[in-house]
Amino acid sequence: MEVRTSVIEKRLSKVKRVISVASGKGGVGKSLVACSLALSLSKKGYKVGLLDLDLYGPSSHVILGVNDFSFPEEEKGILPYDINKIKFMSIVYFTEDKPAPLRGMDITNVIIELLAITRWEELDYLIIDMPPGIGDETLDVIHLVKKSEFMVVSTPSKVALAAVDKLLKVLKELKLPVVGVVENMKIDDSTLIKDYSKEQGFSYLGSIAFDKNLEGAIGFPEKLMKTGFMNDFDKIITKHL
Residues 125-164 as x/- pattern, contact with its own copies by CB under 8 A: -------xxxxx-xx---------------xxxxxx-xx-
Min separation Cβ 237 and its own copies, Å: 21
Q: Tell me whether residue 216 is exposed, middle or buried, using C-beta atoms within 10 angstroms of its C-beta: 0 to 12, 13 to 18, 19 or more.
A: exposed
Q: Looking at beta carbons only, is 123 or 156 nearer to its own copies?
A: 156
For residues 167 and 142, is the Cβ–Cβ distance under 8 A? no
- How far is residue 172 from each of residues 17, 175, 178, 201, measured CA to CA in Å? 19, 5, 8, 10
Binding its own copies by CB under 8 A: which of 56, 143, 176, 228? 56
Q: Looking at beta carbons only, is 77 or 219 nearer to its own copies?
A: 219
> Binding to its own copies (CB under 8 A): which residues in 61-120?
62-63, 97-99, 101-105, 107
Min separation Cβ 177 and its own copies, Å: 18
Residue 84 φ/ψ region, left for φ over 0, alpha for ψ in the -120 to 50 degree band, beta for the rest: left
By CB under 8 A, the count of residues binding its own copies is 49
For residues 20 and 115, is the Cβ–Cβ distance under 8 A? no
Q: Looking at beta carbons only, is 30 or 47 nearer to its own copies?
A: 30
Q: Looking at beta carbons only, is 140 or 232 nearer to its own copies?
A: 140
Residues 15-54 as x/- pattern, contact with its own copies by CB under 8 A: ---------xxxxx--xx----------------------
Q: Tell me whether residue 76 is exposed, middle or buried, using C-beta atoms within 10 angstroms of its C-beta: 0 to 12, 13 to 18, 19 or more.
A: exposed
Helix axes 104-117, 136-144, angle to 10 degrees: 30
Q: Looking at beta carbons only, is 162 or 226 nearer to its own copies?
A: 162
Nearest CA to 88 out of 112, 123, 135 is that of 123
Binding its own copies by CB under 8 A: which of 117, 124, 194, 219? 219
Piece of the chain touching its own copies by CB under 8 A; list 55-63, 143-151, 198-206, 228-236: 55-63
For residues 35 and 60, is the Cβ–Cβ distance under 8 A? yes
How far is residue 166's CA from residue 52's CA, in Å, rounded to a whole number? 22
Residues binding its own copies (CB under 8 A): 24-28, 31-32, 56-57, 59, 62-63, 97-99, 101-105, 107, 132-136, 138-139, 155-160, 162-163, 165-167, 169-170, 173, 187-188, 190, 212, 215, 218-219
